[in-house]
Amino acid sequence: MKIREIDLKRYRKGIIPVLILAGLVFWTAKICNLNFNHILSGFWKGFEFTLKMFPPDLSTLPELIEPALVTLSEALLGTVFGTLLSIPLAVLAASNTSSPWIRNLVRFFISLERALPEIIIALILVAAVGLGVLPGILSLTLGCLGMMGKLLADSIEEVDPSSLEAIQSVGARKAQVIYYGVIPNLIPKITSYALFRFEINVRLSLILGAVGAGGIGYNLVYAFNMIEYHKAMTAVILIALIVFGSERISFFLRNKIKMEASLK
């Protein structure tokens, strides 16, 4: 009897979060004026529109290659600058390499940056420095700085304190303790996180192009505005290839790093 009572209690407990979630879904759908017919017709219209975009106009491919390269370059530069800057930032944000007040200040800056999506940063920078690749690279650098800064700071805090103490015990200066005791442990992580961030930056730089930060994203939006749907489809295919290619390369390299680390 007792076991049955316990089972029923567990069942009753489980249904409460489900009911809350269902209530939330209905409430938010109402706010968005969403109903089942809307969703269904939306899918259908989307499908019809996609069919209109076929076949892609491959004659426009040569003029899309350069903006595609700009998108990739933006992602690469944002990743490289962001990664390089994130290393000193992470050292300042880690409890074992920095003083408490500097650590708190830098951690606050990192949290603040992470609270702002890259697209918002790009919008602000486009307004501040004008259209082009510069706001794109800057916003990707800042985004990378926030993410890598936090991940690397956490990794630094995990470094074995005994090896740092040993370097300290030979009379090394703080910079030497960090360079010889902390950085070598971080290199596989830095490379792996940077490759992952490059994947993210490729996707982001495509979106940033749409808000005027350069690259093929801008050409896509422009083609839609000019009702050049076949050209837009060519851009979409090129974008899909860029994203797929960058993901595969990043995945391959990260796996290689992981395998090498496990062999060491």
x/- track of binding to another protein for residues 152-191 (CB under 8 A) = --------x-xx-xxxxxxxxx-xx--xxx--xx-xx---
Supply the angle between the helices 61-93 and 100-115 in degrees, to the nearest 10: 150
In 3D space, the residue among 72, 115, 82, 88 whose CA is nearest the CA of residue 202 turns out to be 72
Q: Which residues of 60-87 are buried (b: 16+ CB within 10 A; e: fewer)?
A: beeebeebbebbbbbbbbbbebbbebbb
- What Rg, from alpha-carbon coordinates, does the chain have? 25
Distance in angstroms (rounded) separating the CA atoms of residues 55 and 170:
70
x/- track of binding to another protein for residues 111-150 (CB under 8 A) = ----------------------------------------
- Residue 51 CB, shortest distance to another protein, in Å, is 55
Is residue 93 within 8 A of residue 103, CB to CB? The reply is yes
- Residue 87 CB, shortest distance to another protein, in Å, is 13
Q: Kindly state the tokens that stand for 264.
A: 């060491």
In the complex with another protein, the residue whose CB is nearer, 164 or 220, is: 164
- Residue 137 CB, shortest distance to another protein, in Å, is 27
- Residue 145 CB, shortest distance to another protein, in Å, is 22
In the complex with another protein, the residue whose CB is nearer, 38 or 174, is: 174
Q: Considering CB under 8 A, how many residues would be counted as binding another protein? A: 22
In the complex with another protein, the residue whose CB is nearer, 57 or 157, is: 157
- Residue 186 CB, shortest distance to another protein, in Å, is 9
Cα→Cα distances 228→59, 66, 206, 208, 224, Å: 13, 19, 19, 21, 6
49 forms part of the interface with another protein (CB under 8 A): no
In the complex with another protein, the residue whose CB is nearer, 123 or 257, is: 257
Q: Give the distance from CA 225 to its chain's centroid.
A: 28
- Residue 183 CB, shortest distance to another protein, in Å, is 9
List residues near another protein by CB under 8 A.
Answer: 160, 162-163, 165-173, 175-176, 179-181, 184-185, 187-188, 264
